Structure 1
Amino acid sequence: MKNLLSNVKGDLTGGLTAGIVALPLALALGVASGVGPMAGLYGAIAVGFFAALLGGTPSQISGPTGPMVVVLAGLFATLSGDLGLIFTVVMLAGLLQIIMGFTGVGQYIRLVPYPVISGFMSGIGAIIIILQLGRLMGHEPPGGTIGALKYLPTALSDIDFVTLGLGLGTLVIAYKWPPKLGKVVPGALAALIIGTLVSLGLETPILGNIPTGLPELHMPVFDQSKLLLVLEAAFILAILGAIDSLLTSLVADNMTRTRHDSNKELIGQGVGNTVAGLIGGIAGAGATMRTVVNIRSGGKERLSGMVHALVLLAIVLGLGPLAAQIPHAVLAGILVKVGLDIIDWSYLKRAHTGPRWDFVLMLLVLGLTVFVDLITAVGVGVVLAALAYVKQIAQLQLDEVNNLPETSTDPEEDALLKQAGNKVRIFSFGGPLSFGAAADLGHHVREKVKNGSRALILDFSRVPSMDVSAAMAVETITSDAKAAGRHVIMCGAAAAVQTVLENINAHQSGVVVTPDRKAALAKAMALVNEPGKDNGSPGAAANFIPAK
């Protein structure tokens, strides 16, 4: 309660401003989802209030966002407008987010690579724009991105220039509204009001009858034939909402110099979306633009998000007759701005200066988002990014193997190195050894073992961890060395690495373990110089014994 009331004046100002900014966006996104403008407002109220009350980012403003609406629009078309199932999906998505919060998934969602995030956010922006192009020209295109693209030639052949002018005029006002006036009336709201007033003397499609008052409860419904579709859509909404919210939380952290609680934020978002589904609202998430407006207007604590929701609730109770006059073209113009704002222009401008692979990955995710679906885009992007990272780390691990020591700062060890010459070959591994390097590890060692070498030292002193794949690769190295008649000495392994090596290589005899490289060199020289002994003879070396 102390924190809730620690910045009352700033939070009231920030919440009021954010609520006014949210109004046209909630209406427009509700229409874009197919569920209706009031569903957008109900979603903004429920998610905005409960995410602020229970979430982990005090200054964040939540409500309907582009990514969530794109999924809902596709679901609306697939389910033929079955609102009961759509609201059930929203509730399930909320419950999944609550589970994700309690199980600590939030910390992992933030690990999605930037090119993947940039690609799917830009793809979502492109989808929003594509879906509005037909409406800007006075048509109602069929659902889905592909359907809207296929419909474009038809729309272009029969343009309603009055509607087009109204939509483009709205877009221009939203972009060019003077910043000084924007402090009093935000650009999006100004565009909504001016566009609606201009349309009163024109014949253009409007929203029509909109109910007012408190929402009705919508209990979850289940249709066994569509259960998989419902579960898949709920999962996509939960993941996208989590990513969208946590990215906005990072923006809020940078602006307020605070640190959000990812898991608590997911719980708050989950409760908000669950309630949104119950009252007939669309799903929402942390909204970057509205959060920035709130912070710049003085909002810092969770009271600001709650005030934003209450402002929208007050508007809902008496807005219906006024909102009914809003033209579709005006909302389409506002949505085009939303889509353009979502596209990651800052990265696109600099992409040619960065790693080429990251840019290719971003474009691939963008294309999959637009032409396939969001979950495939994110899944493929994350997998490819992870494989690229594993390859990069594996190469670094293999490069470390090539950095073989030729001298030492320890005089005794340096003397042993000189005595060893080509008879003893040392391989010093560096960094965590994992499955990425395992496939080529044995090949690298075999390539560098000279014909005259009679002993092999495997130095793990710079290896903090090792997985089973790498340990199996080490087993292959030791087996090959012994088969070639060479002594094998392992040294310097940390306790965790030692345990893995013992578990995988314990069955091998003839592998000596020493605490450090100097001891390993001394043992190798003793074995090499011992007359009449081979690696394969009974007295060649001790069994695999843990270092003391």
Structure 2
Amino acid sequence: MASPPAEFIAKMSAFWAARDTVSLAAIAVAGGALAAILALRKYAPKIPGFLVAVVGGAVIVALLNLPVETIGSRFGEVPSTLPAPHFPAVTWERIRELVSPALTIAFLAGVESLLSAMVADGMTGRRHRSNCELVAQGIANVASGLFGGISATGAIARTATNIRAGAYSPVAGMLHAVFVLAFMVGLGQLTAHIPLACLAAVLVVVAWNMSEQERFKQLMGGPVGDRVVLLATFLLTVLVDLTVAIEVGIVLGAVIFMHRMAEATALEKGVSLVERDVDDFSRPRNGGDARAHLPHGTELFTLRGPLFFGAASRLNDAFEAAFPPPRAFILRMKDVPMADVSGVGALERFLKRCAGHGTQVVIAEMHPRVRAVLSQMGVFDHHHVLEASTFEAAIAMAAPKIEAAAD
């Protein structure tokens, strides 16, 4: 088969259609290489199984003159010199064509490199510098592209192998690059004799090691949302394209995260537990229920979770249940870490309805970031909305409204 299709289903169909051209010699070489890799990994782990399988397979194919395709017979002469740097033409059409896959590749490369660095941290007990890792990788990939290379990442398998062999500094990675360069320049002609069947065996083992089937099983035992993201990304990677899979996976993950954050947002309503008693609510007992110290006619709302667009609908329903309102509301927001325009919009609709009923609203214990957003949105411009730094101060602000209503 000259050039099999890139898509999985089309590729499987093409392979099935070409089943009569199967080479028994290639199957035997690939099977032998795979068996050698697995056997050496189990019984002699210090011996580089991949190298033994590739070199041994090349020697056997050459000595027995087996009809097995090699790198040279398939792709022609392997260059033994570095290509000259080339600056590609940059056009608006090219940018539009490549921006999506470029961002996806950059994201994947960054994630895999940082994951590789974390694996190294776990094996060495040291800490990597994430910014340094990503900046160095970006510069290296730009330089590689100028010489016709493709994007690369920090490799978990090679990093772990290096550490197990005694590596403890970045010099090991530098030497690895030097050896690869020396092999390409000095021994490039020998690579033409490597059987593709041996490389297939190597790729099968590498792919199996990267699959992390135990981790896959663990994730499948997680929440339903995580299983949906995992299966969607996995199936789209196999059946469609990695770029599409990552884009869909990120969107699904973001939607599920927003749903969970919205579910975590709650508005707890408390009613006054005692009649108006100055001594009780002005000197609250330590550890007592805060609602027990409210003036009569005041209700307490405690908002928990992020005040954002995903929770706006839930907040509207919760605020709706508060009507008809009392003479004064105290809204505690000490457990609100952030707020956005949509969440503040739900709060403003509630405040406007309170204004129509003559209800005083005191917003208490806001995080500085949340207060800044509310102030920018003009929440405190309403005459019936007050702010308090503490719950006790909020009670003191609400008390005059109750007393005025009583008079």
Distance 1:496 1:281 in 2: 46
2:219 matches 1:348:
no
**1:520 aligned to 391, 394, 398, which one?**
394
2:283 matches 1:412:
yes
Distance 2:272 2:15 in 1: 69
8 Å Cα contact 1:251-1:288 kept in structure 2: yes
Q: Please report how far the alpha carbon of residue 438 of structure 1 lies from its aligned counterpart in structure 2 after TM superposition.
A: 2.5
Q: Please report how far the alpha carbon of residue 532 of structure 1 lies from its aligned counterpart in structure 2 after TM superposition.
A: 7.3
**1:493 aligned to 366, 370, 375, which one?**
366
* CA displacement 1:401-456 (0-9 Å, x = unmatched): 22648779977347995585772211012344333223321321221x26573322
* CA displacement 1:470-502 (0-9 Å, x = unmatched): 222221111112223433222233443333323
Go from structure 1 to structure 2 and tell me whether the alpha carbon gap of 1:419 and 1:242 turns closer, same or farther (over 3 Å shift). closer
1:428: which partner in 2?
A: 302
**2:382 aligned to 468, 493, 508, which one?**
508
1:221: which partner in 2?
A: 88
2:315 matches 1:441:
yes
2:238 matches 1:379:
no
Distance 2:371 2:101 in 1: 46
Go from structure 1 to structure 2 and tell me whether the alpha carbon gap of 1:197 and 1:387 turns closer, same or farther (over 3 Å shift). same
What is the DSSP-based 3-state SS (H/G/I as helix, E as strand, rest coil) of the residue aligned with 2:89? coil
8 Å Cα contact 1:457-1:488 kept in structure 2: yes
1:148: which partner in 2?
A: 11
Q: How many residues align?
A: 392
8 Å Cα contact 2:291-2:300 kept in structure 1: no
| Stretch deviating more after TM superposition (325-334 or 466-475) | 466-475
**2:238 aligned to 370, 388, 409, which one?**
370
What is the DSSP-based 3-state SS (H/G/I as helix, E as strand, rest coil) of the residue aligned with 1:177? helix
Q: Please report how far the alpha carbon of residue 317 of structure 1 lies from its aligned counterpart in structure 2 after TM superposition.
A: 3.0
8 Å Cα contact 1:206-1:328 kept in structure 2: yes
Q: Please report how far the alpha carbon of residue 364 of structure 1 lies from its aligned counterpart in structure 2 after TM superposition.
A: 0.4
8 Å Cα contact 2:110-2:153 kept in structure 1: yes
2:70 matches 1:206:
yes
What is the DSSP-based 3-state SS (H/G/I as helix, E as strand, rest coil) of the residue aligned with 1:441? helix
What is the DSSP-based 3-state SS (H/G/I as helix, E as strand, rest coil) of the residue aligned with 1:217? coil
The letter for the 1-side match of 2:111 is: I
1:267: which partner in 2?
A: 135
Structure 2, unmatched stretches of 5+, are 275-279
What is the DSSP-based 3-state SS (H/G/I as helix, E as strand, rest coil) of the residue aligned with 2:302? strand
What is the DSSP-based 3-state SS (H/G/I as helix, E as strand, rest coil) of the residue aligned with 1:457? strand
Q: Which has the larger radius of gyration?
A: 2
* CA displacement 1:101-141 (0-9 Å, x = unmatched): xxxxxxxxxxxxxxxxxxxxxxxxxxxxxxxxxxxxx8752
Q: Please report how far the alpha carbon of residue 244 of structure 1 lies from its aligned counterpart in structure 2 after TM superposition.
A: 1.9
8 Å Cα contact 1:427-1:445 kept in structure 2: no
2:356: which partner in 1?
A: 483
Matches within 5 A, 1:110-259: 141-179=4-42, 181-183=44-46, 185-200=47-62, 201=64, 202-208=66-72, 209-211=76-78, 213-222=80-89, 224=91, 226=94, 228-259=96-127
**1:319 aligned to 187, 205, 213, which one?**
187
What is the DSSP-based 3-state SS (H/G/I as helix, E as strand, rest coil) of the residue aligned with 2:283? helix
The Cα RMSD (Å) is: 3.0
- Greater relative CO (CA pairs within 8 A, separation 6+): 1
Go from structure 1 to structure 2 and tell me whether the alpha carbon gap of 1:405 and 1:258 turns closer, same or farther (over 3 Å shift). farther
Structure 1, unmatched stretches of 5+, are 1-137, 534-548
| Stretch deviating more after TM superposition (476-485 or 450-459) | 450-459
What is the DSSP-based 3-state SS (H/G/I as helix, E as strand, rest coil) of the residue aligned with 1:530? helix
Identity of aligned residues (%): 29
Please report the TM-score for the alignment, with normalisation by the length of structure 1: 0.65
Distance 1:223 1:489 in 2: 58
Q: Please report how far the alpha carbon of residue 464 of structure 1 lies from its aligned counterpart in structure 2 after TM superposition.
A: 4.3
Please report the TM-score for the alignment, with normalisation by the length of structure 2: 0.85
Distance 1:513 1:391 in 2: 30
What is the DSSP-based 3-state SS (H/G/I as helix, E as strand, rest coil) of the residue aligned with 1:402? strand
1:307: which partner in 2?
A: 175
| Stretch deviating more after TM superposition (160-169 or 408-417) | 408-417
**2:205 aligned to 337, 356, 359, which one?**
337
Q: Please report how far the alpha carbon of residue 353 of structure 1 lies from its aligned counterpart in structure 2 after TM superposition.
A: 2.7
